[in-house]
Amino acid sequence: MPISCVLANNEVMLNIKPGDHGSTFGGNPLACAIGIEAMNVVKEEKLVENSASMGKILLAGLKEITKDMKFVKEVRGRGLFCACEIYPDADNV
């Protein structure tokens, strides 16, 4: 069930007037109920906290296994969103 939302600070949200922002997937009562329940699951199951702790383990592991790979420029991440940046000319490194 598709749904969309906008999250912003007060400075932005207090300047959005009716008609300034719209959504193809906004306003469907069933989708809204599902979205609320999905957010409850995220909160109740502490998925943000779990992502942070598992992300530390993942990032440390990625850094360890790539430490001697000269073609890896950088390993970085936040939570479980991790990336290995590779030099553009990796074949020549």
Question: Tens digits of per-residue pLDDT, 16-61?
Answer: 888 887 777 777 889 889 989 999 999 999 999 999 999 999 999 9
Domain that holds residue 64: 51-92
Please state, as a whole number, how many other Cβ atoms lie within 10 Å of the Cβ of residue 59. Answer: 19
With tokens 């936040």, the residue in question is 78
pLDDT at 15 over 80: yes
- Confirm whether 17 is domain-assigned: yes
Give me the pLDDT at residue 36, please: 92
CB 30 within 8 A of CB 2: no
86 and 71 part of one domain = yes
34 and 65 part of one domain = no
Give, for 78, the enclosing helix (H) or strand (E). strand 72-78
